Structure 1
Amino acid sequence: MSSRAARWVRVGLPPVLAAFIAIVAWEAWVAVREVPAYLVPAPSAIVRAFTADPARYALAARTSMVEALGGLLLGSGAAFVLAVAMAHSRPLERALYPLALLVKVTPVVAVAPLFIIWFGFGTLPKMLVAALITFFPMLVNAVTGLRSVDPAAHDFMRTLHATPLQVFRMLRLPASLPYVFAALRISVPLCIIGAVVAEWMAGDGGIGQVILIANGDLDTAALFAAVVVLASMAIGLTALLALLERRLLFWHESSERV
């Protein structure tokens, strides 16, 4: 067996097998207990709901993905820039951290209507909601990572008369990357949630609208199908992020292959 196949058996097979067992048990439970479809649909009913109009789910998924990724880039980028400033200034951190915490504790459902009033019903307010919900994890992790440099290495850079930019590029930035990727692993599901919540408030597309329509029609199978699409989006983005992390952080212990 090749190393690639062996890795798939070791890493990929367990979750696939667990999902298969769960689906079979779910299907059997619904059939044996004769559970009404409007309460819990069988997996086969969910598949039928999806295959009845796959283009609808694909278009909705694309809309939600654009909003979620746009929000992730906007929120994480703004948080990292602010983290760089805060990591170099304790007074600035003390001044801005309470405001960042306020952003964290503000309910998304309270802010989303304001963004819609201010920016209309397009893509931007949904991206802003996704950005808001992903901002705080990146800020906290990035500040911690930027300050986690080896003191001896930092002193050595100072003896070489390195500029602040050189210290940042050669020391602080590499030290922060494991923390940045940890924040992204948290933020990927959150940005999807933020986009869907915004679509519930005032969306003309996206998975959030599919869920709302299915809920209004009491079409539980279609609702579950939309949830499965959301889960697939999150799993796919997380897998891509893990691949990127292994490529960039091959030198760090977090990239060790299991």
Structure 2
Amino acid sequence: MRALAPGAGLLALAAWEVAVRALGVPLYLLPPPSAVAVALAAEPVMFLHHAVYTAQATLAGFALAVALGVAAAILIVQFSPVERTLYPFLVTLNSIPKVAVAPLFIVWMGTGLEPKVSIAAMIAIFPIVIDMVHALRSVDPDMIDLGRSVCGPKGMKILWRIRFPHSLPTLFASMKVAISLALIGAVVGEFVAAKRGLGYLILMAQGQFDVVRMFAAIAVLCAAGLALFYLVGLAERLLLPWQTARRAASAGH
């Protein structure tokens, strides 16, 4: 099945190429994949330069979201007053369109990397908190009772020795969602104000009606998103090999 995915992608690109050329679609409306590939090959260093900047903002925002999200989830699970105050705040924050608040981050932090990191973290943190809270609370009560008989009644020992290890597979699942959201947040920040990055490159190409370059930048964004997603998956396989083996066994059945 894995071998079918690249084949399906190549088939879709071939159909796109044939359809555009057969229908005579103008280049400024929908360029064929071959034109996008030529644009990428003509300026690879330039596209890489902007991609690295976007990746820096994405990874920094993602790391910040993971750290703050895990800490918030632990506080919510351990202290009910925190849940009553922090949960509504997070839900409200998640419901605000990030494009609407992005200009505020630019005003507060300038046009450097910091606002892009902050917007990326703000978008990526919500799934981590929600999934971690659920995972920390879904431990089998019998396992908790057994842990208390071994570790004592202290909540922090139960948290670090039972609840947190149990939640790691869920954490990595939420991180796979969060890394894509962080990339979106970084690009949103670049749309508002930036001098580098793939979002900035798309805006500049739009101003020049250079649709081919816009598609080329979008193609690099797609490749970056896939690479970051599989990077999180690789980290999961390295840090949680038993989870990968269990998943492979389940797929085999």
**TM, length-normalised to structure 1:** 0.92
Q: What is the SS of the residue equivalent to 1:256?
A: helix
Matched, 1:33 2:29: no
Residue 4 of structure 1 corresponds to none
Partner of 2:118: 128
> Which segments of 5 or more consecutive residues in structure 2 lack a partner in the other structure?
none
Given that 1:86 and 1:93 are in contact with CA atoms closer than 8 Å, whether structure 2 keeps it comes out as yes
C-alpha distance after superposition, 1:26-58 (max 9, x if no partner):
111111111101111000100111112111100
Matches within 5 A, 1:151-190: 151-162=141-152, 163-190=154-181
Moved more, 180-189 or 63-72: 180-189
Work out the number of aligned pairs and report it: 248
**Paired residue for 2:207?**
216
Identify the range of structure 1 (238-247 vs 41-50) with the bigger mean alpha-carbon deviation: 238-247
The reply on whether 1:141 has 2:102 as its aligned counterpart is no
Letter aligned with residue 245 of structure 1: E
Deviates more, 1:133-142 or 1:177-186: 177-186
- Which residue number corresponds to residue 7 of structure 1? none
- Alpha carbons 2:131, 2:170 under 8 Å: kept: yes
In structure 2, how many angstroms separate the alpha carbons of the residues matched to 1:77 and 1:42? 42
Give matches, 1:11-22, under 5 Å. Answer: 11=2, 13-22=3-12
Unaligned runs of 5+ in 1: 1-9
How far apart are 1:237 and its partner, in Å? 1.0
Amino acid of the structure 2 residue aligned with 1:237:
L
Compute the displacement of 1:247 (Å). Answer: 2.8
Give the stretch that moved more between structures: 203-212 or 244-253: 244-253
Offset at residue 110 of structure 1 (A) = 1.4
- Once the 2 structures are TM-superposed, how far is the Cα of residue 181 of structure 1 from its aligned partner? 1.1
Over aligned residue pairs, what C-alpha RMSD do you find? 1.4
2:135 is paired with a residue of what secondary structure? helix
The answer (yes or no) to whether the contact 1:178–1:254 under 8 Å persists in 2 is: no
| Equivalent position of 2:242 in the other structure | 251
Match of 1:72 among 62, 69, 77: 62
Q: How big is the shift at 1:254?
A: 8.4
Give the conservation status (yes or no) of the 8 Å contact 1:74–1:131: yes
What is the letter of the counterpart of residue 256 of structure 1?
R
* Sequence identity (%): 37
Q: Could you tell me how far apart the structure 1 residues matched to 2:149 and 2:5 are?
A: 51
The code of the aligned residue for 1:101 comes to V
* TM-fit CA distance, 1:90: 2.4
Contact 1:246 1:255 in 2 (8 A): no
Q: Distance in 2 between matches of 1:254 and 1:33?
A: 49
Cα offsets for 1:42-88 (capped at 9, x unmatched): 00100111112111100000000000110111122111101101011
Cα distance change of structure 1 residues 254 and 237 upon mapping to structure 2, 3 Å threshold = farther
Provide TM-score, normalisation by structure 2: 0.94
